[in-house]
Amino acid sequence: MRLPREEKGLWLVPLVAVILLWEFSAVFVVKDPLKLPRFSAVVFSIYALRDVLIADTLVSLLHFGIGVGLAFAVALPLAIGMGWSRRVFKAVDPIVELLRPIPPLAWIPLAMIWFHLTHYAAGFIIFIGAFFPILIDSYTGFRDVPKVLVETGKVLGCIGDRKQIRFVALPYALPSVATGTRVGMGVGWMCVVAAEMFAVSDYGLGYRLFQKFYFLHQMDYVVAYMLVLGLVALCLDRLFRHFVEERLFRWKKGIVK
Amino acid sequence: MNHKLEIRGVTQVFSSEEGEVKALEGVNLEVRPAEFLCIIGPSGCGKTTLLRMVAGLEQPSSGEIILDGKPVRGPSPDRGMVFQEFSLFPWRTVLRNVEFGLEIKGKVEGKVKGKGGGVSGKKERREVAEKYIELVGLRGFERHYPYELSGGMKQRVAIARALATEPAILLMDEPFGSVDAQTRNVLQEELLGIWQRTRKTILFVTHSVDEAVYLADRVAVMSARPGCFVKCLEVDLPRPRKRTSVEANEFREKLLMWLSLERSKAACIF
């Protein structure tokens, strides 16, 4: 997406304003670094923590990768089944709708029992968070393939479900799959802190934030890690949008804006 | 005379919750090779259903449809179809839309032979597709996506796509129904050009008397529910036709009379 020239730096203004407001209230209003550490102190903390921060980010990305990767791998075939066949949908939908509202955090005890204190336990919690958004958006995409496109496929030689899915339904649904994946990635990342809270490994953004910094009430470090959590997610989202969605949505430009 | 397409005693019954609805009853029709045949009738008379059965998208409750001596069992690329709705694959460019049928064909043949040959090669595919894009007058638009095209252009691509697999017959279901009147005239003219160059057999469904009189060699008039043919008229006007000629007008009047006759329930003659 290209922004007009005068809109290019627009985001900077409110950002600077919020930072100034933060710094100002920390210094002159709250006056308690425990309740609100100063922005400048937080930035300095990020710098001071740079070594451990990189290790923590990498381990968190590992957990995230396990969770989202698995969620995608399981959700996509299920979504194809549910979207393409009414019977599969009718059979599976009640189970999905029963499991979907259970918060990922409620799965933590089971994750601990099943996977003990391993990366997989954290990955599992993230999996639960990412799975349902990917599934729901994707099967909607497969369900909404226009009949005339399927029939056009048939008349041009796509005989059998496999070919129709491969050549008609999948390309049609791909933008929905991408949207679901993006939402799922967001929810999955929100689960990272909770998933790592229980010391599944000696590294991880969530582990450090909760078990180390909060434990010692180092609030400037806590807020520094909060900012990093936000920044990493922002980068992941931008990368995904740049490499996946921009490409997939090219043909949709005229349909949705 | 040997027929390209034969429809023999085709009956179609739809069952719904309110009971059974007879859409077509005992329909017979013969289409000659390289003929341009229009089916005309009021909406809901089952003309689209009949065309869909020829395409293999629906199965008749009874009766038979025979193309080149072989009964129709299901959809196949030997019957090209152009739908009334815009049916381009929106994620594919014009070129890739036209290539679609060849791509699938290549996949099937590749599996049989173990290795791709003929139209399954990427280069041959491109050449064939470009030939048909040229035929419908869309050279220069190969890389455009459907959303960048006007309604008329979309239907031209659909025609090129249907022709690219070199079907034995071209089925058209009110293909110009959703474009404006001027574009419609241009498209009709171009379709005649394409028909004369490719010598394809065309089965064309319409509810427009003007369209039928301008395009067809023969017009088959259908009655409303349950649908059947009440009259088949030879359009003995010389080509190129003039839309406003006296002869065309006289023919239009004759056709309108048959269409109004069917409303008072004339007997199905064949």
Cβ–Cβ of B81/A155 closer than 8 Å? yes
Cβ–Cβ of A254/B147 closer than 8 Å? yes
Per-residue model confidence as pLDDT tens digits over A35-47: 999 999 999 999 9
Q: How confident is the model at residue B178 (pLDDT cuts 50, 70, 90)?
A: confident
Per-residue model confidence as pLDDT tens digits over A188-242: 999 999 999 887 889 999 999 998 998 889 999 999 999 999 999 999 999 999 8
Cβ(B221)–Cβ(B257) below 8 Å: no
Q: How far is B68 from chain A (nearest CA, A)?
A: 17
A19 within some domain: no
- Of the candidates B81, B91, B105, the beta carbon closest to that of A171 is on B91
- Domain of residue A94: give its range: 38-248
Please give the residue of chain B at the shortest CA–CA distance from A152: B87
- Of the candidates B101, B145, B148, the beta carbon closest to that of A156 is on B101
pLDDT the model gives residue B141: 96
Residue A174 vs residues A21, A245, B234: alpha-carbon distances, Å? 43, 9, 49
Per-residue model confidence as pLDDT tens digits over B93-126: 999 999 999 999 887 776 655 444 455 588 899 9
A220 within some domain: yes
pLDDT the model gives residue A122: 95
Q: Share the mean pLDDT of chain B.
A: 89
Chain A partners within 8 Å of B87 (Cβ): 148-149, 151-152
Q: How far is B9 from chain A (nearest CA, A)?
A: 24
A15 within some domain: no
CB pairs under 8 A between A and B: 74
A30 within some domain: no
- Of the candidates B87, B90, B100, the beta carbon closest to that of A251 is on B90
On whether any CB of chain B is under 8 Å from the CB of A256, the answer is no
Q: How confident is the model at residue A4 (pLDDT cuts 50, 70, 90)?
A: low
Residues near A55 by Cβ (< 8 Å), separated by ≥ 6? A203
Chain B partners within 8 Å of A255 (Cβ): 90, 147
Res. B62: pLDDT tops 80: yes
On whether any CB of chain B is under 8 Å from the CB of A172, the answer is yes
Mean pLDDT of B238-260: 91
Please give the residue of chain B at the shortest CA–CA distance from A256: B147
Chain B partners within 8 Å of A156 (Cβ): 77, 100-101, 104, 161, 165
A33 within some domain: no
Could you give the percent of chain B with pLDDT greater than 90?
A: 72
Residues near A249 by Cβ (< 8 Å), separated by ≥ 6? A175, A178, A256
Lowest mean pLDDT among A23-37, A56-70, B220-234: B220-234
Chain B partners within 8 Å of A250 (Cβ): 145
Angle at which helices B122-135 and B181-198 cross, to 10°: 120
For residue A33, with 0-12 CB atoms within 10 Å meaning exposed, 13-18 middle and 19 or more buried, which class applies? Answer: middle
On whether any CB of chain B is under 8 Å from the CB of A1, the answer is no
Q: How far apart are the first and last CA of chain A?
A: 10
Question: Most A CBs within 10 Å: which of B54, B73, B89, as the mutation test of the A interface?
Answer: B89
Q: How far is A254 from chain B (nearest CA, A)?
A: 5
A9 within some domain: no
Beta strand B19-31 with B229-234 is unpaired
pLDDT the model gives residue B119: 55
Nearest Cα neighbor of B56 from B39, B40, B73 is B73
ipTM for the complex shown: 0.91
Cβ–Cβ of B145/A172 closer than 8 Å? no
Chain B partners within 8 Å of A153 (Cβ): 100
A20 within some domain: no
A21 within some domain: no
Portion 95-154 of A in contact with B at CB < 8 A: 148-149, 151-154
Q: How confident is the model at residue B265 (pLDDT cuts 50, 70, 90)?
A: low
pLDDT the model gives residue A82: 97
Cβ–Cβ of A251/B145 closer than 8 Å? yes
Chain B partners within 8 Å of A158 (Cβ): 104
Per-residue model confidence as pLDDT tens digits over A69-110: 999 999 999 999 999 999 999 999 999 999 999 999 999 999
CATH number at residue A96: 1.10.3720.10
Chain A partners within 8 Å of B92 (Cβ): 171, 251
Please give the residue of chain A at the shortest CA–CA distance from B158: A152
Angle at which helices A50-84 and A170-190 cross, to 10°: 140
Cβ–Cβ of B92/A251 closer than 8 Å? yes
Per-residue model confidence as pLDDT tens digits over A133-168: 999 999 999 999 999 999 999 999 999 999 999 999
Residues near B187 by Cβ (< 8 Å), separated by ≥ 6? B152, B155, B156, B175, B176, B179
**Domains of chain A: total:** 1
Nearest Cα neighbor of A53 from A233, A225, A213 is A225
Cβ–Cβ of A157/B104 closer than 8 Å? yes
* Rounded (5°) CA angle A78-A84-A89: 60
